Amino acid sequence: MTRLIVAAGGGGDAVAAAMLDAALYGADDQAVILTYAWDRLLVDPIPGPRSPADFTGLEPLTPSVWSVPAEARPIAPAGSTLPRLAAELPHTFALIDPHHGVEGVARQLEELISHLRPDSITLLDVGGDILARGDEPTLKSPLADALTLAACCRVNAPVRLLVAGPGLDGELPLDEVRSLLGPLVHTFTAEDTEPVSAVLEWHPSEATGMLAATARGIRGTCEVRDAGLPIPLTDAGPTVHEVDLDDALNRNELARAILSTTTLDEVEAHSREICGYSEIDYERNKAAWLKDQPAVKLDPETVLPQLDEFENEARSRGVTHTTFRRLTEALGIPGIQREDLRALLIHRRPERYAAPLWELSAVEDETQPR
C-alpha cells in the first residue's frame, strides 16, 4: 500500500504529515511526503524555497522529482531540515520544486502518481491558511499553500484535502476556519505524537509544535512569531478535518490566479497583486537585516532576568505559553541560537518545559535557580 501526502506549506506540514500517517496507518508503515525545502530564515539564510540544484546527494524518483535522503546536504550557505527529517523518520521525503510555477508542480505530481500508483493522495495543511481568500489582514504566508492547492487541482487523480490544527498557524481566526471545515477525520492524542517527538525537540515549526502540544492536552494561549501573535490552544487544536478540494480552490483567489503559471516569479507577482505582498519579499528584507545580526553570549545571569521581564509582560496579555522561536525574537537572540536557548532554559527551569512549548510561570518565582 502506497500513500502520497503533499505537505501544503512545507516545513511543519511535512512533520504533521508523518504524525498523521503514523496515527492512521501505524508507525512502521511509510508514506511518500512531497514537501518544499522552505525552512524560512530560522534555518536557511537564503529567502524563498530551495530547488534540487541547492542540494548534493539527492536521489531521482522521476524525471522531475528528487527524494531527499539522510545523506543529502544543502549547498552552503543554504540550509534545510529535510535531510535530518529523512534520518529520523521512516518516510520518503520528496522535494517540491516551485520554480516552474503551478505547471511544474503539477507535472511533478503527475509523474509521482504514475510512478508510485498510490492508493491515496492527501494534501495536508496545518492551520487552515490554504482556505484563505487572500485579502485577510492576518494572512502572512499564502504563497506555498496556494501553489500546492492549485497544482493538486490540476492533476487527473482524486486528492483529499485535510486541515489539521485549525487556527494554529495564526493566519485565519479559528472561528473562520472552523466554519469552513468538513467531516472530522481524526483527533490527535498524546500517543500519536510519539513517532515525531524527537523531531519536535529541534524542528522550528510553531504551528506543528502547537498541534502536538494540544494533542498532549496543553491548553491556554501561546504567543508566536516575531510579532507576538496570540494563538488559542483549544480542544479544536488536535483535530483533523476534511475539506472539499474544489470548495477550497473556489475560495482561494490566489490559487485560481496562478493555475497556469510556469515560473515562481509569476506566482509572486500574482501574490503581490491579490494579497498585497509576497512573503518572499518579506524574507528578502529580513534576511538583509539578519545578515548583520551577530551571535550573542547566552549568559544565564543576563538571559534569565530578561526572560522574567518578558514573561511578566506576556502574562499581563493573557499569555500562558510561548515558542522558542518567539523567545529568541523577544530576547533579542538570533534565531540560529534557538536550540542553544532552549537547552539553557530547560536545564535551568525544566519544570517549565511543556514540550515542545515553554510555559510561562503562573507567578514570578524568585526561588528558581539563576
So what's the pLDDT on residue 367?
44
pTM of the model: 0.95
The β-bridge partners of 184 are 241
Cell numbers standing for residue 112: 509521482
The β-bridge partners of 92 are 32
Q: How wide is the angle at C-alpha 205 spanned by C-alphas 160 and 290, nearest 5°? A: 130
For residues 75 and 54, is the Cβ–Cβ distance under 8 A?
Answer: yes
Beta strands 3-7 and 32-36 are parallel
How many CB atoms are located within 10 Å of the residue 197 CB?
14
- Produce one character per residue of 263-301: b if its CB has 16 or more CB atoms within 10 Å, e if not: ebebbbebbeebbeebbbeebeeebeeeeeeeebeeeee
Q: Which segments of the chain have a pLDDT < 70?
A: 292, 362-370
For residues 93 and 67, is the Cβ–Cβ distance under 8 A?
Answer: yes
Widest distance between CA atoms in the chain: 63
For residues 20 and 186, is the Cβ–Cβ distance under 8 A?
Answer: yes
Whole-number Å distance between alpha carbons of 277 and 269:
9
Domain spans of the chain, in order of start: 3-257, 300-359
How many CB atoms are located within 10 Å of the residue 29 CB?
13
So what's the pLDDT on residue 366?
44
Nearest CA-CA partner of 253 in 141, 125, 142 = 142
Whole-number Å distance between alpha carbons of 131 and 149:
10
